[in-house]
Amino acid sequence: MRIQRAFAAGLMLASALVLAACTTTEDANNAARSRWVGQPVEQFFAAYGPPVGDYPLSSGKIYTWRGGDKTRYIPPTYTNPEPASTVVRTQTRTDGSGQTVTQTRVITRDPFWQPQMISPPQYQQLFCELQINTDKAGVITAIRASNDTDGDGLSLSRCAEVLGVTK
């Protein structure tokens, strides 16, 4: 019982550490704001590449930037294969005339049993899309992730990976 509690506590601690190490979209937003607000937008584009679009405003522009595009392959999952095996069952009973009858059954599982696919293979598109607001002089006034997928590693945010955010 004590070992089970210690194992459960260790498992909870490990889970908490893994989750604590995961970066999120909010982490990416906070890092982008602290690093880029007040900087010329050209510096951002020089570091990460050009925008995919812009929209002029009377007070400046809104840029849409996208980067970190990657395709992740997720293999299919299958039911666990059952090993080929033979089961022998013996049953003893008394019939209506008082005689003892022993019955033996041999059950062989199919050695050619094939696992069944639970989910097919998948391809996921990973990317980070940012909305960058600037004033008329081209200085970043706001920046935020407008479309963020899961990360490629332990991160919950592709934007956090692309922007180099760590915890």
Report H helices in the chain. Answer: 2-21, 25-36, 41-48, 158-162
CA distance 45 to 51: 7
User: Could you tell me which residue, 9 or 130, shows the higher pLDDT?
Assistant: 130
- The pLDDT of residue 18 is 39
- The pLDDT of residue 22 is 84
CA distance 137 to 140: 9
- Residue among 156, 133, 152 nearest 144 (CA): 133
> How far is C-alpha 81 from the chain's CA centre?
26
User: Domain residues of the chain, as ranges?
Assistant: 2-75+121-162, 79-117
Over residues 117-151, the pLDDT tens digits come to 999 999 999 999 999 999 999 999 999 999 999 99
User: Please, which pLDDT band fits residue 11 given cuts at 50, 70 and 90?
Assistant: very low
- The pLDDT of residue 2 is 54
User: Please, which pLDDT band fits residue 1 given cuts at 50, 70 and 90?
Assistant: low
Per the prediction, the chain carries an average pLDDT of 84
Q: Would the pLDDT of 13 be above 50?
A: no
Over residues 30-81, the pLDDT tens digits come to 999 999 999 999 999 999 999 999 999 999 999 999 999 999 999 999 887 6
Say which amino acid occupies 116.
Q
CA distance 107 to 29: 61
Q: Look up the pTM and report it.
A: 0.67
